[in-house]
Amino acid sequence: MQKNIATFFDKTREIASLTGDKLSSAFNKETHRFTITGLSRSGKSMLFTSLITMLKSRSEEGYACLPLLRYLPPSQVLDMHIEPIDGYKPFPHIQNIEDLENGQWPKATEEAFGFKLVVRLKETASLKRHVLPHSDVVFEFIDYPGEWVTDIPMLSKTYAHWSDSAWAQLSSGPQQYFANQWKAFVNQFDFEQEPTEQRIQLLVNAYRDYLVDAKANGISLLQPGSFLLESSDFDWQAFGFTPLPSSITSDVSHPWFNIFDKHFAKFQNGWLTPLKQSIFKETDKQIILVDLFEGLNHSRQHLYQLKETLSHLADTFVYGQSTWFSRNVLKKEQIGKVAFVATKSDLIPVSQRGNLLSLLMQITEGARARFDGKPIQFEHFLVSSMQVTDDGSNEDAIRYKDTDGRYVESTFEPIPSTLKEMEEGSHFPVPDVSVPSDYKARILAGKGVDRLLQFLLGKGEQE
């Protein structure tokens, strides 16, 4: 307590010593810290790229995009620019635009990026205008691989606990259809031999092959997801581990248990703990991206697993309302607003989007249960970062350019509004859409981003 009080008076003296521009910065700067949480392929990179493009085009070029965003009136915007965030690589916005220009979708996120989007607004209040002629609204965005966030729950487990739960997961649900080769490899592996570096590498590579195959087939709950990224700072080739049969994990004296237990501890202490402290700590608003089409394209079991995965992800973050004291003096943030976002909503006709929203609300039930008893505002949104489809010849059809460059029309059967409605073994193919040549115009025509920003920046009102 004494330390907190001392910190408070230090902050008070610091503010009292400010003059001129520093005083303006202290009292006329409003900062919003966003974390965009999404699993692999959920559309994080494209959403970031679209956000920057929309806001810059709206303020600098006068485009009438984001019509429902009342929080940043274009007539009041004096300037907008991007600044770096210490400790993070800059988000590759220009590279992503170049990729789109070349007909390629932005690359998936494989490392952490951070940037500030600073919007300077003209002060309109007559009295305040003479003292402080402008105010800055600062957006701080953090982007990180979805594979990292699925690993954070491993911090609360021992190696033996994680190993047993991993075996249970890959023996049930949709994982079981892709784990046969891995399980056959383990069954013939001789664990009586000493765990030499070469034998460890054989086992780790075989397990990673399973992770890669499962990811390619739409599995969302894969651990360690960090092993899937070549850019990961954790050296999984030198300190890798895999789940082991329970006959080994139950014997704490077994050489294979001992070596993997040590590697697991190194993964927790040397990688996950610093990761959680640096990236998953300081944020007050969260956007959780959900790609429902990945599950719809595979099976109902995939969607159930997505629901389970989102429930686990909610345990990673600290939820609640930050006060001025906790945010500015104690330097502690809590997430007070959460937006659940179903991305790529333009891949189905408008007539089906009500069902998609209903399905999103059921998929997030477990995650929202973590908010019970906490003062958290949350809302569900359908968003298209780029409007890649056009209306079809009837209300159940859309038109788009496929990967062969043909302008085609697809008609859809109704998608399920609940998991129960989706029959076992059924799936709903998703259009394979190419990057449109008029990509910028279609970014500016993206739907739902304005309502999403208005909710996060304003008081949560919806239109």
Element spanning 35, H or E = strand 29-38
Residue 71 clears pLDDT 90, i.e. is over it: no
Q: Give SS3 for 105.
A: coil
Residue 282 clears pLDDT 70, i.e. is over it: no
What's the average model confidence in pLDDT over 365-381? 88
Q: Rounded to 5 degrees, what are φ and ψ at 298? A: -110, -70
**What pLDDT is stored for residue 358 in this prediction?**
97
For tokens 């499962």, the residue is 214
Cα(383)–Cα(343) distance, integer angstroms: 5
**pLDDT, tens digit, 9 for 90 and up, residues 293-304:** 988 998 899 899
Lookup: tokens for 21? 């521009």
Residue 463 clears pLDDT 70, i.e. is over it: no
What's the average model confidence in pLDDT over 198-220? 93
Sign of CA dihedral 401, 404, 408, 412: negative
**What pLDDT is stored for residue 125 in this prediction?**
57
Average pLDDT score, the chain: 83
pTM of the model: 0.81
Split at pLDDT 50, 70, 90, the class of 390 is very high
**What pLDDT is stored for residue 459 in this prediction?**
56
**pLDDT, tens digit, 9 for 90 and up, residues 84-94:** 888 888 889 99
What's the average model confidence in pLDDT over 14-22? 45
Lookup: tokens for 418? 């609940």
What's the average model confidence in pLDDT over 360-368? 93
What's the average model confidence in pLDDT over 26-54? 80
Element spanning 148, H or E = helix 146-149
**What pLDDT is stored for residue 461 in this prediction?**
45
Lookup: tokens for 462? 């919806």
Cα(183)–Cα(280) distance, integer angstroms: 34
What's the average model confidence in pLDDT over 385-393? 95
Lookup: tokens for 77? 């915007």
Give, in degrees to the nearest 5, the angle at Cα 138 between 132 and 141: 175
Split at pLDDT 50, 70, 90, the class of 82 is confident
Residue 222 clears pLDDT 50, i.e. is over it: yes
Q: Across the chain, how many H-helices and E-strands are there?
A: 20, 10
Cα(240)–Cα(267) distance, integer angstroms: 8
**What pLDDT is stored for residue 11 in this prediction?**
42
Is 223:151 a contact under the CB 8 Å cutoff? yes
Q: What is the dihedral of CA 7, 9, 13, 14, to 10 degrees?
A: 20
Is 255:278 a contact under the CB 8 Å cutoff? no
Going by their DSSP bridges, the two strands 390-391 and 397-401 should be labelled as antiparallel
Is 55:80 a contact under the CB 8 Å cutoff? yes
Residues 6+ apart with CB under 8 A from 117: 51, 52, 55, 80, 82, 138, 139, 141
**What pLDDT is stored for residue 258 in this prediction?**
97
Residue 98 clears pLDDT 50, i.e. is over it: yes
Split at pLDDT 50, 70, 90, the class of 443 is very high
Residue 324 clears pLDDT 80, i.e. is over it: no
Is 77:66 a contact under the CB 8 Å cutoff? no
For tokens 């460059």, the residue is 405
What's the average model confidence in pLDDT over 220-243? 87
**What pLDDT is stored for residue 333 in this prediction?**
54
What's the average model confidence in pLDDT over 9-15? 43
Q: What is the DSSP code string of 330-357?
A: S----B-EEEEEE--GGGS-GGGHHHHH
**What pLDDT is stored for residue 281 in this prediction?**
60
**What pLDDT is stored for residue 133 in this prediction?**
66
Is 277:333 a contact under the CB 8 Å cutoff? no
Split at pLDDT 50, 70, 90, the class of 252 is very high
Cα(219)–Cα(150) distance, integer angstroms: 12
**What pLDDT is stored for residue 5 in this prediction?**
41
**What pLDDT is stored for residue 1 in this prediction?**
43
What's the average model confidence in pLDDT over 446-455? 91
Split at pLDDT 50, 70, 90, the class of 269 is very high
Residue 224 clears pLDDT 80, i.e. is over it: yes
What's the average model confidence in pLDDT over 106-117? 84
Residue 22 clears pLDDT 80, i.e. is over it: no
**pLDDT, tens digit, 9 for 90 and up, residues 118-142:** 888 887 655 454 445 678 888 888 8
Residue 14 clears pLDDT 70, i.e. is over it: no
Q: Which residue would you say has higher pLDDT here, 174 or 399?
A: 399
